[in-house]
Amino acid sequence: MKITFFPDQKTVEAAPGDRVMDTAREAGLSLRADCGGKGKCGTCRILFESASTPPGTLSKPTADEQRLLPEETDGKFYRLACTTRLYEDATVHIPHETRVHWFSPRKPVTKYAIPIEPAVKKITFQQDPEGERRPVLSLRRRIGMNLAAVAPMEPEAADFAVMADFSHQPLKGYYKTITATIFKDSEIIQLRPNGDRSLYGIALDLGTTSLAAFLCDLQEDRIVAVASLLNPQMTYGEDVISRIAHARKDCSHLDDLQDNLIEGVNHLIRETVKKAGISTDDILDAVAVGNPTMQHFFLGLNPASIGEAPYLPVCFKGGEIRARDLGIGIFPLAKIHLLPMVSGFIGADTIAAMLTRSRDDLGGTTLVVDVGTNGELVLAHAGRLTATSCATGPVFEGAQIRCGMRASPGAIDNVWQVNGNGPLTCHVIEDGAAGTAQPKPAGICGSGVISIVAALTRTGVIKPDGAFDLDCGHPCLRTDRRSGQVEIVLVPARESRTGRDIVFTQSDVRSVQLGKAALRAGIDILMGDANTSHLDRLFLAGTFGSYLDPRELLEIGMLPPMPLERIKSIGNAAGDGAILALFSLAKRNEAVALAHRIRVVELSMRPDFQEVFIDSMGF
């Protein structure tokens, strides 16, 4: 049978009983699936025209699915792509808000001044003319002997793979000048018959939500190009647990998840080299960081053991792997360095973030907070480092919110009230291109979610227990007639891009409470274990943290009470730390030392967690 998707006008073959979501993937279309396609979130809504869809074409909706569907409009009806199965030829319409839009996420970058000591360096040397009269010596041996005269290298340090690559270089008689790229002063990874001294490396930030690549000139100490995109694995679920569950279903799914990730990384590499005007073969070193699950997917390791107690990764230790072994599109014999992990939920991204902090930063009592799908916390106190991970959920990424979306053009990212009981005013992320019209609001991103709750808590529309105050008289409060749930209208349908009201519901408020209570409970337990109630400084790490207002975080009780001036955003610290490790071997060694120093607190094993969590629910 044939299934056609609009507005793309793509037609694919499908077998009777196939899910719409699987068929869309076969067509190369990415649909949102915040819950991983389990029929729980309602983000994969699709449209059918009832007049042109004969009975028996689709599976019947279950009661659970119906609760996630809006009412029929204009003769069309909604279904969920993850639960709807097809039995006859059909035409499927994919709404704008259901698509995964591969925009470039906002990725701040900070360049830190450190001594430059990259893992790779180039040495240019002259071949000994006497070698021409010694035909019994191989080219490999001659190169090794001449290189050993100017560098502490073994005469046959170039292995067969390096010589095979070198043998394919254009042969112009006897090589007079040769440039060797050496890794960690001990291993030749590239030979070239010239005196080219350019040296590039790339730092990779493998986030659950987005990927970023930072192309760096290792000779000139500069970041040459930056590129980012949403993680292509998003179509398998917003959070790592959903993706682990998908990999468990079938061993081939792990290959799909790795292929998705590698394809996304290679796309970014191609984009950066195009901006820089160089070749991918000019990239001779790489550093990759991510949370434990993302690093497992990157290496092709099955992360199933992370998904269940005692939440153990396959391996903790960092190290190197050749680019060609992973299919990464840089010079094939270049090494990709991965920083170490600490536990099943404290990974190389946390270690990388800590690399950006100086000794003074970690003096006294300092808390580093990375807010995302998981909240990672590291407390420095009395010379000791303690860390934990909080299951905040994807609410702070705009997921599992009725009208939630990514931080892209059209997303509401800030909300305020001109007066205590008036309509809400919303700021919308613009396109950024010159001459582009102000986009209509399409949904609410993570910073907008925090902003809404803070604004409504400040004015009493949301009570300290998280319930909407129906007696406050706010003109935008209403009760949804289908669900019976209280909600507040931010943008009426006539002014939205979706043609439907953009609302914030009581369930949305509860999701924020759960996420912020998990983070706050983690903070309170770390501070309690350290026997301290005082923070000298708090660093907000992560791209999301860069766009949060610390005042609002304090207002809703997400952070412990403290002077505002002690809270500082440090941007995408994981990416910045990866860049530091690219420029400095000393930073790679520091990462290993940090991994050994950090003591991990597993909140799931703490008998006091539930009590602290409940105490943290209020605003």
DSSP for 229-272 reads: EE-GGGGG-SSHHHHHHHHHH-HHHHHHHHHHHHHHHHHHHHHH
CA angle 418, 489, 516 (to 5 degrees): 85
Interval 416-459: pLDDT, tens: 887 667 778 899 988 765 556 678 898 898 899 999 999 999 98
pTM score = 0.87
- What confidence tens digit (pLDDT) does each residue in 196-248 have? 889 999 999 999 888 999 999 999 999 999 999 988 888 888 788 888 888 88
Burial class (CB in 10 A: 0-12, 13-18, 19+), 173: exposed
Residues of the chain with pLDDT under 50: none
Supply the pLDDT for residue 279.
95
Class in CATH terms, 2-98: alpha beta
- Looking at residue 372, its pLDDT comes to 76
Helix (H, G, I), strand (E, B) or coil at 164: helix
> Would the CA dihedral through 560, 566, 568, 574 be positive or negative?
negative
User: In this structure, what DSSP letter does residue 425 have?
Assistant: E
Interatomic CA distance for residues 122 and 168, integer angstroms: 20
**Is residue 604 exposed (0-12), middle (13-18) or buried (19+ Cβ within 10 Å)?**
exposed
What count of Cα atoms within 13 Å lies in the side-chain half-sphere of residue 219?
12
Q: Roughly how many angstroms between the first and final C-alpha of the chain, as a whole number?
A: 53
Task: Give Dmax over CA atoms of the chain in angstroms.
Answer: 98
Amino acid at 460: G
CB neighbour list of residue 437: distance below 8 Å, 6 or more residues apart: none
The answer to whether 22 and 249 are in contact (CB under 8 A) is no
Task: Please say whether the beta carbons of 229 and 211 come within 8 A.
Answer: yes
- How many Cβ atoms are within 10 Å of 161's Cβ, its own excluded? 13
* C-beta separation of 370 from 574 below 8 A: yes
Between strands 210-217 and 200-206, the pairing is antiparallel
Helix (H) or strand (E) holding 424: strand 424-428
Which neighbouring-strand residues pair with 370? Answer: 376, 541
Query: Rounded to whole angstroms, what are the CA distances from 356 to 100, 269, 272, 298?
Result: 32, 24, 23, 23
DSSP state, 56?
T
Helix axes 251-276, 240-249, angle to 10 degrees: 130
Rounded to whole angstroms, the Cα distance separating 350 from 378 reads 8
The Cα 292–Cα 298 span in angstroms is 10
Residue whose pair of structure tokens reads 């369930």 in the numeric block: 507
Which CATH number is correct for 200-338, 3.90.1150.10, 3.40.920.10, 3.30.360.10, 3.30.420.480? 3.30.420.480
Report how far residue 352's alpha carbon sits from residue 357's, in angstroms, rounded to the nearest whole number: 10
Q: How far is CA 519 from CA 190, 367, 505, 593, in A?
A: 47, 12, 22, 26
DSSP 559: S
Instruction: Report which residue type is found at 21.
Output: M
Q: What is d(CA 543, CA 571) in angstroms, rounded to the nearest whole number?
A: 6
Nearest to 356 by CA among 110, 596, 107: 110
- Confidence at residue 211, expressed as pLDDT on a 0 to 100 scale: 93
